[in-house]
Amino acid sequence: MTPPARRDGTPDRKHEDTPQKGFRSRSQRRKGGARQAPQEKNYVQGVTADQRNMPLISHAKPARRQHVDEAEVRRRQAAAQGQESDGIRLQKVLARAGVASRRNSEILIEEGRVEVNGKIVERQGMRVNPAVDIIRVDGVRVNVNEDLEYWILNKPRGLHSTMQDELGRPCVGDLISEKVSSGQRLFHVGRLDADTEGLLLLTNDGELANRLMHPKYGITKTYLATVLGEADKDVVRALRRGVELEDGLAKADYAQIVDTYNGQSLIRVELHEGRKHIVRRMLKELGYPVQRLVRTKIHTVQLGEQKPGHLRALNSSELTSLYKAVEM
């Protein structure tokens, strides 16, 4: 019996048959070595001690899956990549991404306005692989990968910012899987407290998600906070100067009192950091406990009139603006 191959192409000794009596290795036969008396078997593996040190040679007719020929695997992978990079015509990809009609896309190419992987395209007829190639028009990245999804959710109050909640609490994942078939593959970019409402970005684009959350890019988030108390300019000044919290100073990039009425105020706060409960803690520290908190904007992407619990796809100019903000 031919031992089944392991992933590295060597036979799996676990399944190796007990060797035949008088077995001679190929090298012994080549050297004309005498048929030896059967060796004592080491029955731990059903293999003689000698055989364990011998090169692995199978005398059986090669099984289809006996060996993983790594050179062959590499050759096939290269061929597959080659086929992919034969890919799709650039003007077709641009048209599919909504940049322009095929004809106008050809004109964009002719005018030297299209870049593939950092190089201006200088000829017509180029083929690209939309799953891997980075395409820019006038220096602005265009999403040509149809597998990537970008959604904006207006997270309702009471939902946890998780795709699956270990404690079985209502979470964003429940809502998404009802609405988008690919919901399982999406993840949320950052979090909102369960009590906070508003804009939550969902995507399966890991690179963009990571960068948006990375402090290096300082992505600004805007919140509207309804607080108890009639706030005055001192609050705005304090928010901008920075509020000392137990885990360090927290500064707003911008703050504004939108309205004060009947013992309450509506305050807009913009900041680029993402510490837990940051807005609530800052305002509480200043003596204005938050009653309601809504995230209305991430970078240039606005929540607008989108209703709580509703999802919408990010449009291409919003996506382009996010790509740009994180240097993608």
Separation CA 121–CA 112 (nearest Å): 6
Element (H, E) at 81: helix 70-86
Q: Which stretch binds ligand URA (CB under 6 A): 26-34, 143-151, 164-172, 277-285?
A: 277-285
The answer to whether 172 touches 162, Cβ cutoff 8 Å, is yes
272 scored as a contact of ligand URA (CB under 6 A): no
Q: What is the C-alpha end-to-end distance of the chain, expressed in Å? A: 55
Is residue 252 close enough to count as binding ligand URA by CB under 6 A? no
The interface mask with ligand URA, positions 192-231, x = CB under 6 A, is xx--x-----------------------------------
Q: Give which of 319, 304, 316 is closest to 154, Cα–Cα.
A: 304
Q: Does 165 bind ligand URA (CB under 6 A)?
A: no
Tell me, yes or no, if 193 is annotated catalytic.
yes
Shortest Å, Cβ 305 to ligand URA: 21
Q: Residue 279, interface with ligand URA (CB under 6 A)?
A: yes
Among residues 4 and 158, whose Cβ is nearest to ligand URA? Answer: 158
Catalytic-labelled residue, pool 50, 193, 195, 253:
193
Residue 285 CA, distance from chain mean position: 36
Assess 278 for contact with ligand URA (CB under 6 A): yes
Sequence-separated (6 or more) residues with CB below 8 Å from residue 147:
131, 204
Query: For residues 182 and 304, what is the distance between their CA atoms, to the nearest angstrom?
Result: 25
**Selected range binding ligand URA among 7-15, 58-66, 94-102, 272-280, rule: CB under 6 A:** 272-280
In this structure, are residues 229 and 265 in contact, taking their beta carbons and an 8 Å threshold? yes
* Residues belonging to the active site: 193
Binding stretches for ligand URA (CB under 6 A):
192-193, 196, 277-280, 293
